[in-house]
Structure 1
């Protein structure tokens, strides 16, 4: 995490505290920052706020107004912010369970969702519980108690089911025709690597580190190597290659009991 992101997160916490006051239990860096894999120019900044009680509509809107990119410019591709009540974070449930979700940034489509029921099913409801599992393991506390004390992990069966849903969601996305390089296919491959390492080894790694672990074991070394190189400017793999790998991972994840 570079100094610009560190300063941004400090200001974000100050602004969140200004809106939420004593209801702010903690703020946690998730995603690539939490997993120590932040890549300038490519990564998002993922933040989870934990609050003591249900937020009112005016408080939710005030928080969005204070944290959206136009009010607090994000130095990364964008900010992905999710707010949870403490009891939801501690429950280890598989539902979305958020109070408010905000996506905002210079190159990120703006989206705000004020209740899980407003989140389109087609956009996936599995993200949130998986993110909370990552936070349980690797969340970086910006303020408040350690993340492992605030976020409960998923039960193994829920974890496998949600990972299978995520892989199926990726497989349903349209891909460019033909067998040429497909932008974004590298993330599809490396995201599948992360899912596979989690169910096999019981630990969340960054996408690239998960790919490296599988490659070191001699699994799909060429495809994974090209996918890692694509994150630094190399050509991505083709859509058919990525989908074939995802299908293999989905089959293994779904078969594990």
Structure 2
């Protein structure tokens, strides 16, 4: 993985030159929870000034899977200007976004204004908050200096938006294991752990943190659901879709109450 990240930064340097002022590993790599074969690689690049269309195209061409194979499920790359990274805004604010990989649908968004609301516009502010706290610098100053955090009010609002977005997705039919439902449960755990304890944690670590809380200890079956979801990430059976949705609704009610 280290070699891939080094090569990625090298390609970005070739395209952006001195305008590349930072590169940061985010997501599971930044949180110290990368799982080979399961996790994506999340990277944020920071450039000194807005990118023209030609450099956006050349950057995407150089970093897409066909040109630079990613050893993970896929690469999720977002490019920000230094001003946008330090703004603390909840808005997307990116220059270009790329999803590419052997097991990931190719997607490129050339401008933040093109991001459809139906696909969620909350991701980017939350990602920059995680970068501020946990990002690993591959190039440039520490992530805490390159990225500003969200205000508490904006953080809670985006977390509520994210949970509502997930709940609006179709629920897998039946009461049997639903692959991916464990991530829905533990993603909700991460949101609640951030609100309750003020720290971004990996999904599994957030689940374990809530298990130590009175909230989980008093919750009966939801506590068992968290334990099963953690085990599912190591190969155990996933919870059902209805179980995951009920848990997300419980977390949404608590975060929404705090936000109000």
Provide TM-score, normalisation by structure 1. Answer: 0.97
CA contact (8 A) 1:175 1:182 kept: no
Residue of structure 2 equivalent to 1:53: 49
Residue of structure 1 equivalent to 2:64: 68
Moved more, 98-107 or 207-216: 207-216
Residue of structure 2 equivalent to 1:229: 231
What SS does structure 1 have at the residue aligned with 2:95? strand
User: 2:134 matched to 1:138?
Assistant: yes
Q: Separation in 1 of the partners of 2:33 and 2:90?
A: 25
CA contact (8 A) 1:81 1:102 kept: yes
Cα RMSD (Å): 0.8
Residue of structure 2 equivalent to 1:115: 111
Residue of structure 1 equivalent to 2:102: 106
Moved more, 90-99 or 179-188: 179-188
Residue of structure 1 equivalent to 2:219: none
1:26 equivalent among 8, 22, 39: 22
Residue of structure 2 equivalent to 1:162: 158
Deviations 1:118-168 (A, max 9, x none): 111111000000000000000000010000001000000000000000000
Residue of structure 1 equivalent to 2:207: 211
Structure 1 residue 216 displacement after superposition = 2.6
Structure 1 outlier segments of 4+, above 3 Å: none
The 5 Å alignment of 1:147-158 reads 147-158=143-154
What SS does structure 1 have at the residue aligned with 2:176? coil
1:195 equivalent among 184, 188, 191: 191
Uncovered stretches (5+) of structure 2, i.e. residues with no partner: 217-221
Structure 1 residue 221 displacement after superposition = 2.2
Residue of structure 1 equivalent to 2:252: 250
Structure 1 residue 114 displacement after superposition = 0.5
What SS does structure 2 have at the residue aligned with 1:49? strand
What SS does structure 2 have at the residue aligned with 1:161? helix
Uncovered stretches (5+) of structure 1, i.e. residues with no partner: none
Moved more, 224-233 or 126-135: 224-233
Structure 1 residue 189 displacement after superposition = 0.2
